[in-house]
Structure 1
Amino acid sequence: MVVIHVVPLHEPAADRTGDEVTLNWQVGNAAEDGSSTRGFQAATGGLLRTAGPTRPCGAPAAGIRQRGVRRAAGRRDRHAVRGARRADHTVALPRHGSLPLVEASVSGRNPRKFLLDTGGTLSLSMATAEEAGLRAVATGRGRAGGQTFTMYFGVLDSFRMGDIELRNLPVHWHDAVMPSALGDPQPSGVIGTTIFYHFLTTMDYANRALILRRKTSAKLRQFRVEAERAGAETLPLWLAADHFPCTLGSLNDYGPRVVSLDTGGAGGIGVVTTGEVAGRAGIRVDYDRPTSFNRIPVHPCVPDRASLGGAVARDIYSIAGPLLMDDRFRFDTIANFTHSFFKPYAITFDFADMNFHITSSPR
């Protein structure tokens, strides 16, 4: 078995902005074999309006020093990935519930269901962390989905998906309620962008597969040929804060403008926007039928068209409310595209050349 060390181009970073905490493991955009690639900040033609100093690869994280995490990780082989170097690792997406779930095992234990969420990092439920015997080296307060909770930070010795194993990973766990479909049990954790950006990652919704390819020059060239042959739409990819992928999208004829990509949205929602943006895009918001999302008041709306390039959803159920993360990103977005929009497609995140590919995937 080949052991490959995936070493970030930057050390973990943290800044103080009050009491809330986000671990900020910054990502480098080099291919795995060291080949040169384009920088993170592609030209946006004025579409990005910054509201202050920005760090595309590092969010204004918060609250704690992470020397303990660094020391704990430093005593082990750093961020090792085990698996055949030439293989494409495919993990099945079970036909269960309405959210993208995969089975993964923590520290050699029985596989559990984890949510694929590009709006998240690698996190575990309290029960999963306790079963694995994880020891917290730091704590802090977190906030998500209208909840405030305690977060515990440590280092996970082994995380396995299919035939690929990742070792010595920074991880956090908490007792917050995670997104789940009605009637489904809570997932055991979240697999997020801080895992995906170590690979050329494809989520093939229609064919129920998560595909993790090595970020080598050969794999990248091979994928580009396959994507062109399949008629994939190729869009720019940016990373906001430390783990939120963004690209260009449109609502009706409003756009293209910057949107975020979040695969973990529950509730059958395709797009999240605001009432102000909905008005600009000519989308009628049903203010007579208030509802909530993650405990935050929202209102339903249905855009005629929501699109990422040539990938178009018509009359898709959406919501309008104060859910976009522009304050954290420090630039404007018009929407967050989430789970239901992606269902007919295969989507690929290329964090080497910073491209987002979306392909209609025949069943």
Structure 2
Amino acid sequence: MIEASLNGAPPALFFLDTGALFALNDDYAARLGIPTYGRTTGRTLYGEHPNLQGRVDRLTMGELTIEQVPAHTIPDEIRLTAPDGRQTQGAIGTSVLARFLATIDYPGRALVLRRDRRAAVRAEHTAPLWFLGDHFLLSHGTVNHLDRMVFFVDTGGGDIGFTAPRSTLDAAGIAVPADGGPHPVTAGRVTLGTAVRHDVPGLAGAFPDWFEHGFGFRIGGLPTHEFFRPYALTFDFAGMRILMGTSRE
């Protein structure tokens, strides 16, 4: 989570989510009087919902200000609660991060946005990066004994580290109850590029059915928040690679 100020308003809390664009909760956007210009339909784990398309004149994070930022609204129930009881008012996602060499430094508890998108970043692990549509980030990875497959890289997965379609979980030998609802599971070994994590907490039933083949090719899994927590996670949109290191420098 990160604090940000919109159009000079007092700072509010947002969650960082590479599975999202720049999104504001409906009630928060209304309170700030964010102008909107049209309506589309969004598809999330919460199902389909209307999105109002709009614009934020100024987005300020720390000492950095970005102007004229496209935004859209999301339902008010899509919120996270911080340890101090505050609730998030939206998501800062790929449409903001892609303007920079962006590092989500989990151990250092910092978001680092470098304007020099070719700056040197130290990393122990790398993975290829593809940009699909307006915000979907893809890479290559594996789970258990299976061959390499396409993964959707989404940092917004809360306290889990991996989810996947039922076909992947079954092939990987991960037992899933027959009712198809959300169930905690554990993936013995998950890789993303050269990064390897063991005994990764996962959630069966959280991967949207349409997402597996919805883009004309198969997406086999989704590494998320808990997978990345040991790393300073950098998205290099100039070199199209993901860097994972223990230091952000």
Alignment TM-score, normalising by the size of structure 1: 0.63
Within the alignment, does 1:102 sit opposite 2:102 as a pair?
A: no
Task: Summarize the alignment of residues 106-185 of structure 1 with structure 2, pairs less than 5 Å apart.
Answer: 106-181=6-81, 184-185=85-86
User: Which residue number in structure 1 is paired with residue 208 of structure 2?
Assistant: 323
How far does the alpha carbon of each residue in 1:103-132 deviate from its partner, in whole angstroms, 9 at most, with x for none? 000100111110100000001112321222
User: Which residue number in structure 1 is paired with residue 112 of structure 2?
Assistant: 211
Alignment CA distance shift 1:274-1:140 (3 Å): closer
Does structure 1 retain, via aligned residues, the 8 Å contact 2:79–2:89? no
Alignment CA distance shift 1:308-1:360 (3 Å): farther
Does structure 1 retain, via aligned residues, the 8 Å contact 2:162–2:201? yes
Alignment CA distance shift 1:330-1:176 (3 Å): farther
Structure in which a larger fraction of residues adopt strand: 2
Does structure 1 retain, via aligned residues, the 8 Å contact 2:139–2:193? no
* 1:283 equivalent among 161, 166, 174: 174
* 1:244 equivalent among 115, 130, 136: 136
Q: Which ranges in structure 1 are unaligned for 5 or more consecutive residues? A: 1-100, 292-296
Return the offset for 1:102.
Answer: 0.3
Identity %: 34
| Count of residue pairs brought into register by the alignment | 245
Q: Could you say what the CA RMSD is over the residues aligned between the two structures, in angstroms?
A: 2.2
User: Which residue number in structure 1 is paired with residue 186 of structure 2?
Assistant: 302
Kindly provide the amino acid, as one letter, of the partner of residue 170 in structure 2: G
Within the alignment, does 1:234 sit opposite 2:119 as a pair?
A: no
Alignment TM-score, normalising by the size of structure 2: 0.90
User: Which residue number in structure 2 is paired with residue 332 of structure 1?
Assistant: 218
Does structure 1 retain, via aligned residues, the 8 Å contact 2:81–2:88? no
Within the alignment, does 1:351 sit opposite 2:243 as a pair?
A: no
Q: Which ranges in structure 2 are unaligned for 5 or more consecutive residues? A: none
Return the offset for 1:152.
Answer: 1.3
Aligned to 1:151, the other structure's residue is in SS state: strand
Return the offset for 1:326.
Answer: 2.8
Within the alignment, does 1:257 sit opposite 2:149 as a pair?
A: yes
Aligned to 2:214, the other structure's residue is in SS state: helix
Does structure 2 retain, via aligned residues, the 8 Å contact 1:155–1:169? yes
Moved over 4 A (4+): 181-185
Does structure 1 retain, via aligned residues, the 8 Å contact 2:126–2:195? no
Does structure 1 retain, via aligned residues, the 8 Å contact 2:128–2:193? no
Alignment CA distance shift 1:179-1:232 (3 Å): farther
Does structure 2 retain, via aligned residues, the 8 Å contact 1:344–1:361? no
How far does the alpha carbon of each residue in 1:298-338 deviate from its partner, in whole angstroms, 9 at most, with x for none? 33321111112332221121122342623333221221011
Max Rg structure: 1
